Amino acid sequence: MTALTRRGFAAAAALTGAALTGRGHAATVTPGLESAGHYRFRLGAFTVTMLLDAGGLIDGPWPIVGADRPREEVAALMRENRLPGDRFQPGFTPVLVETGGARVLFDTGNGGAGFVPRPAGGRLAERLRAAGCPPESVDLVVLTHCHTDHIGGLTEGGGPAFPNARLVVGAAEFDFWKRWERPGADPADNASRSAEIFRSHLLPLAERTRFVADGAEIVPGIRALAAPGHTPGHLAYHVESAGQRLLIWGDCAHHEVASLARPDWHALFDMDRAEGARTRRRIYDMAASEGIVVAGYHTSFPSLGYVVPAGTGYRWIPVTYQLL
Ligand SMILES: [Zn+2]
């Protein structure tokens, strides 16, 4: 794998004051580190580009990670890793895979109405243009799941943001959100807002969407891998070209230190928290034992790393020059 490029720097000064809310959880986005807008590498005959959709610091990682643990326990783990106990900078990193036959985009970021609204989030289209792959050139949009920070970028200005793309989503995921009804739920909570964005952004595109399950071939070299718990139909994707492999694991980690070190801690946004924990262990074990490079949507940009066993959990080794 060769040819790494980093280009495009975030205008961090524009981030202050954008509010976001989760399930009973409110945070303010403040400027974080400036980050490269995209990061590109070769995977066999494929070209892979990591694209940063959102930046800035939010409250956390507790209770986003460690929802069932005391705040101080999570903060202590952060301090051991030389990180602040009460603020963190998650990645929001869609992945573009160019196979030679197709431009395949995994997840669409926050768009105008996702978990991190503009101007801090919703920057994917701008990143794609800067990377030389404008939204109109995307052939296939593949979704890991239907939370707002993954499907919010499907729509732009009232129309499809990827006008020439077909879509792929987990059949179980689509069915779950299509049937979603929770009378009395707080309309501001993460699930309610995801259901709303699903109805406005994805449901109208159903006719151009393919519904898949575990093991489905998306295009030659790319297969779906069931990873339920975060949402009922959450899918990871395994990408392979000329013997080189990449695991796109969606939201199997919300924090590269805490989720990996303590996979059994509950994640606030997992819809089935026990199943989310089981899936983390299974996916981390696969990534570690098979030595696969991982694209972790919410890990720090460029959101690429390896997983190794550590103590009773795992450790994330960020990619530096391993891909050269
Ligand atoms: Zn997410």
Distance 38 CA to ligand 1 centre (A): 18
* pLDDT band for position 34 (cuts 50, 70, 90): low
* CA-atom Rg of the chain in angstroms: 18
CA 178 – CA 199 distance, rounded (Å):
8
CA of 242 to the centre of ligand 1 (A): 30
Ligand 1 centroid – CA 148 distance (Å):
8
| Angstrom distance (rounded) from CA 207 to CA 200 | 14
* pLDDT of residue 25 exceeding 60: no
Check if the beta carbon of residue 256 is closer than 8 Å to that of residue 77.
Answer: no
Give this prediction's pTM.
Answer: 0.91
The per-residue pLDDT of the chain, averaged, comes to 90
Class of residue 320 by CB neighbours under 10 A (exposed 0-12, middle 13-18, buried 19+): exposed
Q: How far is the CA of 192 from the centre of ligand 1 (A)?
A: 15
Distance 109 CA to ligand 1 centre (A): 9
Residue 1 has pLDDT above 80, yes or no: no
- pLDDT confidence band for 323 (50 / 70 / 90): confident
Query: What pLDDT shows up at residue 131?
Result: 96
Residue 323 lies in a domain: no
pLDDT by residue (tens digit) across 141-164?
A: 999 999 999 999 999 999 999 999
pLDDT level of residue 28 (50, 70, 90 thresholds): low
Ligand 1 centroid distance, CA of 150 (Å):
6
Cα torsion angle, 98, 153, 259, 169, sign: negative
CA of 147 to the centre of ligand 1 (A): 6
What range defines the domain where residue 141 resides? 5-318
Q: Where are the alpha helices (DSSP H) in the chain?
A: 71-80, 124-130, 148-151, 171-179, 190-197, 258-261, 273-290
Judge contact between 135 and 162, C-beta under 8 A: yes
Q: Is the dihedral of CA 279, 109, 193, 257 positive or negative?
A: positive
d(CA 97, CA 104): 5
DSSP 57: B
What value does the mean pLDDT take over residues 176-202?
93
Count of domains for the chain: 1
Task: Kindly state whether residue 273 falls inside one of the protein's structural domains.
Answer: yes
CATH of residue 210: 3.60.15.10
